[in-house]
Structure 1
Amino acid sequence: MKTRKRLLWLMAWVLFFSLAFPTTAWGAVVDVEADSYVLMDADSGKVLLAKNEHKRLPPASMTKLMTLILAMEDLYKGKVDLKEKVVASENAWKLGGSQIYLEPGEEMTFEDMVIAIAVGSANDACVAVAEHLDGSHEEFVKRMNAKAKELRLKDTHFVNAYGLPDPDHYSSAYDLALMARYALCYPKLLEFTSIKEYNLRQGEFKLYNTNKLLWHYPGTDGFKTGWTNEAKFCLVSTAKRNGLRLICVVMASPQKGGNFRDSMKLFNYGFAKYAYRSFFAPQSQCGLVSVGKGTNDRVEAICTQEVGASCLKGEEKNITYKRSLVDYIDAPVKKGQKLGEIKVYNSGRLVKTVDLVAYRDVERCGIWKEITKAMSKIFCL
């Protein structure tokens, strides 16, 4: 009977600690005060640590990550130009919270407006950009929710583009990590969120990035802080060291600065336990393909993204790759045309597939060019 009681007490204590503290396969405990968080491997999307990751909470200004995503999508599609003028409306002017104090009718470039969002967390700039891209703030918010659905964010709904509180405005740590992973598709977004200081209005108004990890945690280059009384202290961030990129989201950290302290603890855990083995950087040449009937005899095959994978430290040798590439293709060849792929494995298990594509166009040559090429080959023989 005593043995049974001791066993029950032991099981109760184990259950208590498993609920109270996040643990890992290593048995490690990370002391994080945030109500909800996620640490994710950016390359694979694998969650390395988490607590209440699907809990719906107010995201505050982390909302602006989706605003920036849509702005970058339109930029990369050519729907807007960085030097294009954006005119502030009265709706933007009258908005409260963090702002750059836009006046009705004031003009700024699209680039300055986006940087004001990324660096200064400007609510008024969010409205100005939203209206410029979609005609109204309301239409832009519809697009935000459509994008959330496209990314399969199950615990996210937006009411505005800037993050001021509303009962129907919420997200989760996991959803924000997925947003951050998608945001990495746009290098310009990462460039903007890594700016520490920026001068607006010919230096009359200076912005300081609200993400203090940029100063205090090496490798950090994104994304957005968040704070309201309801949301408490929040941060969605990313850092990269020795090829390993991690994404961290903390929500509802109770103490001022706690969002930064919690994030650093989670990042420390990730960089201590995991490594990244890289074989080819993005856009690297990974082979040559012979081209028939073309203006060139060969075309370079490049990888569309980094070829490599993350793993536990000490197990890098388990990461391998296999390349498959066509030997020959007839012209015309279009830039970006798929020519093969590289498969990356971890201990024999497929973890990633990267397309190999043509680096440039190769036009089909005319009949006289073909004859000339054929004759030159004959005489060379």
Structure 2
Amino acid sequence: MKPYSKLLLVFSVLMILAMTIYTPVHAQESGAKLAEDASSAILIERDTGEIMFEKNSNEQLPPASMTKIMTMLLIMEAVDNGKITLDEKVRTSERAASMGGSQIFLEPGEEMTVDEMLKGIAIASGNDASVAMAEHLAGTEDEFVNMMNAKAKELGLKDTNFLNSNGLPEANHYTTAHDMAMMARELLKYENITDYTSLYEDYLRADSDKKFWLVNTNKLVKFYPGVDGLKTGFTREAKYCLTATANKKDMRVIAVVMGASTPKERNRQITEMLDYAYSQYQVHKQYDRGTVIDQVKVNKGSKSKVDAATAENVSMLTKKGQSLDGATEEVSWNKDVKAPLKEGDTVGKLTVKLDGKTLSEVSLVLTEDVDEASLWQFIKRTSSILVGKK
């Protein structure tokens, strides 16, 4: 064998070995025959957003009641930022009560708490409850729809357009499997949402003579271990749809199917996608959400240094059996971290790399508010610096 041939052989072997150390996850793994009955589908890991499987995932389609994932996201966001509370009363308008399709049979003028309305939306897919909450949050459903589309834009979802809060058929009301998965991923940041979506059955008006039994439209929360959400959908135009999430083996997965022919086919396809995820992949979790990584310097702050923590779980997804030995972490700070700042403000990012490839990138956020330094604090700090230089 000629010298250059030997070198070529050695180089080829080394390249093959390198590729076996870490193989990045690619969409549509070869040989994975999933969601064959669906118009579109996608399967992602929640922490990393990595796609394990997709089929026509950017095709614009009617989402039916999966629309309510965005409705629930805006409700949970409002609860989280203190705009509303779970125990405050929501009044039902004539318009909300008139919604057809799936409903919890709200009457005009009837009041329920936000907590009860969320149950009605998450479990029974109440179109009336969705409109009641939309009006409660934004004044009118039209204004709420503007909020929905603004949130979609904020999330970078370019193939989504909402015209109502509940998914009842309207021309030009559409999304994609990909965008639906991203909305679900964002909703799952509010961990208590699964307190609602995981319930198989519950009651509304439990202490009245109008007791109403709720049964989850997502049967997988009862029949597939680990499934704790999220939302079904059906109209003649959309056919049978489901965005499901499961949490097993310290790995949360989101699976979306749109346009299945029957509810049985919808559930079968989601089940097969979840089986595929848990049999073929594993998550390497580095840090939990909220782990303090380092302190960041704050210009003109009442404190000169403040703890910065991970905004999300820091995880890496690989095929089973693959190693992440040799992975490195890099912390980079925003250029001008200047007070005043609020808890949760992004001040930098943590990047995990292997062989120059980015495996995970998560924002670092402040763990507390930082006010501007008072004049006295500024003078004291400046004086100590000058003394230290002597």
* Counterpart residue type for residue 257 of structure 2: V
Q: What corresponds to 1:306 in structure 2?
A: 313
Point out the more displaced range, 50-59 or 247-256.
50-59
Secondary structure of the equivalent of 1:322? strand
Q: What corresponds to 1:210 in structure 2?
A: 217
Partner Cα separation in structure 1 for residue 100 and residue 169 of structure 2 = 12
Distance 1:200 1:219, change over 3 A: same
Q: What corresponds to 1:271 in structure 2?
A: 278
* Counterpart residue type for residue 145 of structure 1: N
Residue by residue, what CA displacement relative to the aligned partner does 1:101-121 show, whole Å, maximum 9, x if unpaired? Answer: 111111111111122101110
Q: What corresponds to 1:175 in structure 2?
A: 179
Q: How does 1:1-381 map to 2 (within 5 A)?
A: 24-30=28-34, 32-202=36-206, 204-286=211-293, 301-318=308-325, 320-322=327-329, 324=331, 335-336=343-344, 341-357=349-365, 359-360=367-368
* Counterpart residue type for residue 181 of structure 2: A
Assess if the C-alpha contact under 8 Å between 1:282 and 1:307 holds in 2: yes
Partner Cα separation in structure 2 for residue 31 and residue 357 of structure 1 = 38
Point out the more displaced range, 147-156 or 214-223.
147-156
| 1:360 CA displacement | 4.6
| 1:361 CA displacement | 6.2
Partner Cα separation in structure 2 for residue 288 and residue 151 of structure 1 = 28
- Percent of aligned pairs with the same amino acid: 42
Q: Show structure 2 runs of 5+ residues with no match.
A: 1-26, 385-390
Q: Number of residue pairs matched?
A: 346
TM-score normalised by the chain length of structure 1: 0.79
Aligned-CA RMSD value: 3.3
Distance 1:346 1:262, change over 3 A: farther
Distance 1:109 1:318, change over 3 A: same
Partner Cα separation in structure 1 for residue 303 and residue 278 of structure 2 = 46
TM-score normalised by the chain length of structure 2: 0.77
Distance 1:109 1:269, change over 3 A: same
* Counterpart residue type for residue 133 of structure 1: L
Assess if the C-alpha contact under 8 Å between 1:308 and 1:319 holds in 2: no
Q: Show structure 1 runs of 5+ residues with no match.
A: 1-22, 375-381
Distance 1:157 1:238, change over 3 A: same
Point out the more displaced range, 166-175 or 356-365.
356-365
Partner Cα separation in structure 1 for residue 304 and residue 28 of structure 2 = 54
Secondary structure of the equivalent of 2:52? strand
| 1:276 CA displacement | 0.5
Q: What corresponds to 2:3 in structure 1?
A: none
Assess if the C-alpha contact under 8 Å between 1:32 and 1:265 holds in 2: no
Assess if the C-alpha contact under 8 Å between 1:275 and 1:316 holds in 2: no
Q: What corresponds to 2:387 in structure 1?
A: none
* Counterpart residue type for residue 175 of structure 1: D
Partner Cα separation in structure 2 for residue 337 and residue 354 of structure 1 = 13
Secondary structure of the equivalent of 1:316? coil
